[in-house]
Structure formats: C-alpha cells, structure tokens
C-alpha cells in the first residue's frame, strides 16, 4: 500500500482502538478494489468526542469513518443526518462525510443478519438476546427485520433493560436468573450473547444450554477468544455455535458500499482475515 498526498483517509473512532481488526479488513479491501485510500485507528478521548467529529467533518480528504465502543450511541445525536436504520437502532457505526456534514448509518444489523445466512441459519422463529447494551440493539433490529415471531431479552441492569424495551417493545423481558431464563429456552431457536461475558475466557451468561433443543443455534458476538466458554459448551452439546467475526467483516463490507459504492467478495476477505490470525482481534 502506497500512501500519497491524494490518498483518501478513513478510520475507526473509539476508545480503545489499539487492537481493532478494522484497519486490517479495510486496507485489504481497498487494495483489492484498487482504491487510493488508507484506513487508520482514531483513538478519541471520551470527553472530546464532539470536537473529534467536528474536526473530521471539515477534513476534506476524510470521506468517512466507523464508530466503535463507547461512542456508537452518543454520536447519533451529533450527526447532521441519520439513516432510518440508525435512528431505529439508536446507534451509529458508520459515518459518511458529505459536503461539510456527517451522515450516520448502522451496518451492524445487516452484518448480523447476513452472518446468520452465511453460517447456514436461514429461519428463526424464536430468539433470546442476552444483554441490552449498544450491540444488542443492532441485533434486536436485525431479528425484527428477519420477521422473528417470538423475541425475548434478558439483562443484568434493570434500567438498561427498560431502555431497551422502550425502543423494542415487541421483546418479552426475562429476569436475569438462570431458572427464569430456563423457562423460555425449550422453544428458543437462537440465543445471542451480546454481553462481554466470556471475553475473559472463563465467564458464562446465565443460560443453561441443556434446556435447548438440539437444533438451536448459539451466537456469541465475542470473537476474542474465537471460542468463548459459552461457545465451547454449545459445541460439546452438539449445538451450532457461531462467533462474531463474520458479523464484523460483513458490517465492514457494507460500510465500503456506503463510502465507495463497491461490493467485495465476503469469502475472499474472510479467508484473508483468518490467514492473518484475525480471529484474535477486536472490533
């Protein structure tokens, strides 16, 4: 990759971003497409996110950027315009710089839905979302767009759960208790962990996988480690287990479509990320 004075600049804004996989993915995609652009990590101090975004808005060689933890929900109100999906989810993860204005999008939900398809999950009648934070809202919106009929959500923090339900009233709340969660599990087709439980390689969500039917799918947004204890347990029980790496790649490719109007082969990018050891990275 050769960077010149004419190169366009993109990046991911977050804190921390030092272990982000996004530069690996995007710079490879730009090389495939023959685009003169570079994608960089942009670590922003939380107290100054408004100033960071304002500066990016007026940097004419910056054509767009991604947003990650902890800013996805905060930047929604800082955009000059948001897509319908971003407003519905309440979070922005992709920004396109217009003529001195910022336009917010959310590609996380599309990445989640498409990641189910590429992993052979075509039909879901009932789903349980574990967690009610920022990532859970993109998952929830995706499940609704898929037409999932029965939707459940559980979360440790009751206040966050209430905020989630205000945005997605079609979800049925379940108390954060293994016995209470177990009551809904026999009919659930898909369990999605959107919390950080398992990132330490030890902890589990309070979901008794033994109560699930054998056709159920366990999806963990975490992909570092590539197999959380939750996913390892699912595999031991013969359940289909999926981590969040495909979602990360796919949301990145949808961002490329927004910025450049170009489509890239997912399988080729996924092979490259695995070849580069990308299953041990961070969003």
Instruction: For residue range 133-147, list pLDDT tens digits in order.
Output: 888 999 999 999 999
Contacts of 117 (CB under 8 A, 6+ apart): none
Tell me, yes or no, if the pTM score tops 0.85: yes
Instruction: For residue range 199-213, list pLDDT tens digits in order.
Output: 899 999 999 999 999
Structural domains in the chain, CATH included, are 8-106+249-280 (3.40.50.10860), 110-243 (3.40.50.720)
Residue 172 CA to residue 244 CA, distance in Å, equals 24
pLDDT at residue 281 tops 50: no
DSSP 8-state secondary structure symbol assigned to residue 40: E
DSSP 3-state of 49 = helix
Token pair, residue 2, equals 């050769």
The verdict on whether 110 is a catalytic residue reads: no
DSSP 3-state of 6 = coil
**How many Cβ atoms from other residues are within 10 Å of residue 172's Cβ?**
13
More confident residue, 57 or 153: 153
Q: Among 6, 8, 45, 72, which one carries the catalytic annotation?
A: 72
Instruction: For residue range 168-211, list pLDDT tens digits in order.
Output: 999 999 999 999 999 999 999 999 999 999 989 999 999 999 99
**What confidence score (pLDDT) does residue 132 get?**
94
DSSP letter string over 124-191?
Answer: -SEEEEE--SHHHHHHHHHHHHHT-SEEEEE-S-HHHHHHHHHH-TTSEEE-SSHHHHHTTGGG-SEE
Residue 236 CA to residue 220 CA, distance in Å, equals 15
Strands (E), the chain: 8-14, 37-43, 62-67, 81-82, 94-97, 102-105, 126-130, 150-154, 172-174, 190-193, 217-220, 240-243
DSSP 3-state of 11 = strand
Residue 282's pLDDT band, with cuts at 50, 70 and 90, is very low
pLDDT at residue 226 tops 60: yes
């Amino acid at each position: 990759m050769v960077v010149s004075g004419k190169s366009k600049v993109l990046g991911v804004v977050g804190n921390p971003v030092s272990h982000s996989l996004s530069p690996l993915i995007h710079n490879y995609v730009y090389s495939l497409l023959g685009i003169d652009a570079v994608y960089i990590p942009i670590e922003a101090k939380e107290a100054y996110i408004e100033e960071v975004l304002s500066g990016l808005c007026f940097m004419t060689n910056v054509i767009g950027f991604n947003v990650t933890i902890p800013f996805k929900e905060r930047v929604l109100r800082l955009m000059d315009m948001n897509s319908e999906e971003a407003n519905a989810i309440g979070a922005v993860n992709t920004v396109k710089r217009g003529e001195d204005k910022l336009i917010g999008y959310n590609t996380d939900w599309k990445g989640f839905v498409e990641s189910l398809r590429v992993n052979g999950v075509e039909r879901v009648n009932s789903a349980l979302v574990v967690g009610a934070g920022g990532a859970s809202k993109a998952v929830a919106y995706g499940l609704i767009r898929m037409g999932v009929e029965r939707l459940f959500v559980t979360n440790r923090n009751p206040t966050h759960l209430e905020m989630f339900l205000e945005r997605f009233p079609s979800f049925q709340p379940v108390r954060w208790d293994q016995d209470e969660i177990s009551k809904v599990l026999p009919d659930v087709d898909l369990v999605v962990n959107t919390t950080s439980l398992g990132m330490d390689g030890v902890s589990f969500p309070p979901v008794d996988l033994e109560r699930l039917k054998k056709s159920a799918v366990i999806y963990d947004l975490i992909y570092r480690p590539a197999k959380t204890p939750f996913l390892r347990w699912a595999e031991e029980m013969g359940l289909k287990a999926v981590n969040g790496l495909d979602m990360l790649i796919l949301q990145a490719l949808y961002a490329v479509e927004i910025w450049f109007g170009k489509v890239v082969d997912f399988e080729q990018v996924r092979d490259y990320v695995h070849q580069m050891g990308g299953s041990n990275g961070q969003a």
